[in-house]
Chains A and B, each alone.
Chain A
Amino acid sequence: MILGLSKHPSDESIVEGILAGGRKEHEALVALYKKFHVSLERFIIHRSTGRDYAKQPEDIIWEAIEAFVVNVKKGSFTLKDATLETYLKSICKNLWFRYISQEASREERQNKYMAEWDKLEDDVSDMLIEKENWENYINLVNKLGKNCKQILDMRLIEGLSMQEISQKLIANGTFENDQTVRNAKSKCLKKIMELITSNHQ
């Protein structure tokens, strides 16, 4: 067990846990939050205006964790780039300024926040620009049936071959034979591709 070694897991063990998936990923996420939430919350509060926003620092922290995990899984974050805390703070800062600049009046935006907005790091800003699009795509994925999601998860995320997927799904009684699994995969993939590519701008 990667994280069971210590109450204070290292950045490396957290990243390893996220990449391992399953139970270890869950433990890594819990450890990540416990390790950094106090400093991240302080960091965000220090940059807040005192106004009462619908979104709280806690929400921003979890959004930042989500963005961070996506980057780890895509391979676009490595510990060579920055320490975990620095990277998370960078994402929090971007998410927070983006949020309050949306909430603030045009005048406030111009006077106060746009100056900060200009300073945002390019790498995470790019990610945020497409945030709304991804929200739509995630909703489309979540609208798929359970079997569709399971097959495509196995194929595209877990990287299993069609033969391995068939074996698993026939063994647990979800499908009767290899051909029905292949047909289901083709149908599901066609459906989600149409939905996503037609929404893609």
Chain B
Amino acid sequence: MDDILQNQIEDYVAGIMPEKTKLEFEKLIRNDLNLHQQVEDLRLVQEAFLRAHVRTSVANARTHIHKPKRGLSYILGTVSTAAAIVVFLLSTTVTFSPKKFNYRGDGVSVSTETQVRANDYQKATQLLENEQNLPEAIKILERLKADENVSKNFRNESKWLLVVAYLQVGEATKAEKTFDEVKWEDTGRPFSKWEITKIHWQIFWGKTF
């Protein structure tokens, strides 16, 4: 087959043959079975290409629809979720683990007063841990905090527990005042930035509402 005829078949099947030439060419097709077959074969190839093209386009659209979103709404959604999580964590109760002071002496004799104070401290921490009778816990801790006979270490620990207790009963102003006293002192408490932020957050919201 010559190149001219092949080009004509391709132009005809691709739909780019000029109208006048097309009418003449269709006459030829009607009278030439071999040419007719060649046109039909090329149509078949054309449709296979068309379908392959469509399949790729549809697959791309499907991938696009189902791919994870990376747009502005996705970013805003992620930021909002992260912010909500942080706010939630900041709003949870401040955790603490009462220190075990060796005031009973473990074999070393201690005075009755010291023993009483140690028992009071233990009672206050238990009340606080179980969130029971918080006013009573606060009363004990305030007394320990103010007692000059109590060691510095013991008093600071009582102040720290008082901050937690005040926050639990919604006394944000008192919590703030006590926290300001204790946070710069060497309490041995592992005050992380997170713990400090959390306390500040709860004091802030406690005072606001």
Contact = CB atoms under 8 A, between A and B. Distances in A.
* B and A form one assembly: yes
B60 A26 contact: yes
A30 B64 contact: yes
B36 to A, nearest CB: 14
A196 B47 CA distance: 11
A185 to B, nearest CB: 9
Interface in A134-184: 134, 137-138, 140-142, 149, 152-153, 155-157, 159-162, 182
B5 to A, nearest CB: 13
B54 A200 contact: no
Contact of B51 (A30, A137, A152, A161): A137
Given A69-B57, A193-B42, A197-B44, A156 B49 contact: yes
Contacts, number: 94
A91 to B, nearest CB: 13
Given A74-B50, A141-B52, A197-B41, A156 B13 contact: yes
B31 to A, nearest CB: 22
B65 interface: yes
B41 A138 contact: no
B110 interface: no
B89 interface: no
A189 interface: yes
A159 to B, nearest CB: 4
Contacts of B68: none
Main secondary structure of the interface of B (DSSP, over half): helix
A99 interface: no
- Which of A66, A140, A161, A182 gathers most chain B CB within 10 Å? A66
B53 A153 contact: yes
B151 interface: no
B47 A155 contact: no
17 contacts: A29-B57, A29-B61, A33-B65, A66-B55, A66-B58, A69-B57, A138-B55, A141-B48, A141-B51, A141-B52, A152-B49, A156-B42, A159-B14, A161-B16, A196-B41, A196-B45, A200-B44
Given A141-B49, A156-B42, 10 more contacts: A29-B58, A134-B51, A141-B51, A152-B49, A155-B14, A156-B13, A156-B49, A157-B53, A161-B16, A192-B48
Interface of B: 3, 6-7, 10-11, 13-16, 41-42, 44-55, 57-58, 60-62, 64-65
